[in-house]
Amino acid sequence: MTLAIRRLKASDADFNATLDQLLAWEGVSSHDVQQRVDDIIQQVRVQGDTAVLAYTQQFDRHPATDFNALVVSQQQLEAAFHSLPQARREALQAAADRVTAYHEHQRQGSWEYTEADGTLLGQQVVPLDRVGVYVPGGKAAYPSSVLMNVLPAKVAGVKEIIMVAPAPGGELNPLVLGAAWLCGVTRVFAIGGAQAVAALAYGTESVPPVDKIVGPGNIYVATAKRAVFGKVGIDMIAGPSEILVVGDGQTDPDWIAMDLFSQAEHDEDAQSILVSWDAAWLDQVEASINRLLPEMERADIIRTSLESRGALIQVASEAEALDMINRIAPEHLELSVADPKAWLPGIRHAGAIFMGRYTAEAVGDYCAGPNHVLPTSGTARFSSPLGVYDFQKRSSLIFCSAEGADTLGRIAGELADGESLTAHARSARYRVKR
């Protein structure tokens, strides 16, 4: 059965409305979910381990009868790593090395400067103390997520990394545990859902409270993260994954079809969009899609995703393709064109940019080096890939000389008078020379 992927032309009268509809995604939780999550958080705050254990028995059908059974030991992690086939261990290690090397470029240092009158100004940069990493269970249990969330924290210098991962029916994914061992995660708990987020945010008898929670999760996890934001830091709340491929018509259509599939196979809500000014090549890619689809293990998911949220869009020119990029602000942007560097100055919004015909988005998911945790659903307009900067924080430094206190005290006094804050004014003026 031919796959019915949308073919759009940017010149169509209703194109803008159609594209808006296609891109629309409301990640908002229902009041019902919010209420249930608030209840779970409240119970965990009051009852600690007892509540977390009860929810884990209920939601994950976990056979544990004692919270200790939810603690995963370092020995288990190490054994899981060594149980993996050698090729997989080596691939994990190679990916970890590359991700670490890339992220080391992001580490920021403290800085300061001294003004002519001796006043010192600067910023002290230090890592967070303790971070929680949420790793989903079930079909989305990805070892690559462990690497991508944990390694930037390690590079930042975070001392304690607490990982939580639900174990449906008591089962944990050995690849996930092995990746945790490889990355040097401090402690692992086999818990998930809003109860795990609450435990990390507020702490329980067993789970130490963390300063920031990162990692993807379902609607309950996302709602819980939003609820505890402020008590702890959180990363972005992720929507479905998406890719925008821009092609000049010279890349093998099979490669492009597979790149679109690789996004679509994540889940039915994933979005794959291809843009080109070469209509004949769009036809070829569509033919490749139809020829290759039956060969795919996840053909049903890919079909649903491409039919409900995918599109092949014909534009008039490269300039129109660039406009499309900035309008969509894609999580993943693949520039399958002859000179991708020439496009960079015009690109304002994209999570990650995969440049040239040889750069499959999939290498970015695993091992190229940059993070695969990226802003989704157009949030690349204001946010960035997860990085070392998310695990560092800054303190401003101000050290006035007697001379500097005189100059600054006069200015501050004048402005404090304007705001009718007279203690501010007087506190500043005490340091002004008489």
Residues 362-391 touching a copy of itself, rule: CB under 8 A, are 362-371, 374, 379-385, 387, 389
Which DSSP helix (H) or strand (E) runs through 178? helix 174-183
For 290, the token pair is 């139809």
- Binding residue (CB under 8 A) for a copy of itself from 17, 94, 316, 338: 94
* Residue 107 three-state SS: coil
Positions marked catalytic? 331-332
CA–CA dist 47, 33 (Å, integer):
21
- Binding residue (CB under 8 A) for a copy of itself from 67, 81, 261, 281: 261
Beta-carbon contacts of residue 322 (< 8 Å; ≥ 6 apart): 343, 346, 347
Determine whether the annotation assigns residue 271 to a binding site: no
Which of residues 70 and 148 has its CB atom nearest to a copy of itself in the complex? 148
Residue 150 found at the interface with a copy of itself (CB under 8 A) = no
Do strands 271-276 and 311-314 pair parallel, antiparallel, or not at all (unpaired)?
parallel
For 227, the token pair is 């609820």
How would DSSP label each residue in 232-258? BEE-------EEEEEE-S-S-HHHHHH
Residue 33 found at the interface with a copy of itself (CB under 8 A) = no
Residue 385 Cα distances to 130, 215, 375, angstroms: 20, 12, 6
Residues 264-293 that bind a copy of itself (CB under 8 A): 264-266
Which of residues 53 and 245 has its CB atom nearest to a copy of itself in the complex? 245
How many other CB atoms are there within 10 angstroms of residue 108's CB atom? 13
Determine whether the annotation assigns residue 284 to a binding site: no
CA–CA dist 344, 246 (Å, integer):
13
Residues 36-75 that bind a copy of itself (CB under 8 A): none
For 84, the token pair is 């993996």
Of 130, 129, 132, 128, the closest CA to residue 197 belongs to: 132
Which of residues 11 and 104 has its CB atom nearest to a copy of itself in the complex? 104
Determine whether the annotation assigns residue 332 to a binding site: yes
Residue 340 found at the interface with a copy of itself (CB under 8 A) = yes
Residue 412 found at the interface with a copy of itself (CB under 8 A) = yes
Determine whether the annotation assigns residue 31 to a binding site: no
**Rg of the chain on CA atoms, in Å:** 25
CA–CA dist 49, 291 (Å, integer):
53
Of 149-157, 190-198, 200-208, 342-350, which part binds a copy of itself (CB under 8 A)? 342-350
Q: Site mask, a copy of itself, residues 169-188, x = CB under 8 A?
A: ------x-------------
Least distance (Å) from a copy of itself to the CB of residue 132? Answer: 11
Residue 113 found at the interface with a copy of itself (CB under 8 A) = yes
Residues 228-247 that bind a copy of itself (CB under 8 A): 229-230, 232-233, 236-237
* DSSP E strands, 68-119: 71-72, 111-114
- Binding residue (CB under 8 A) for a copy of itself from 298, 307, 308, 318: 298
What residues are designated binding site? 134, 195, 218, 241, 263, 266, 332, 365, 419, 424
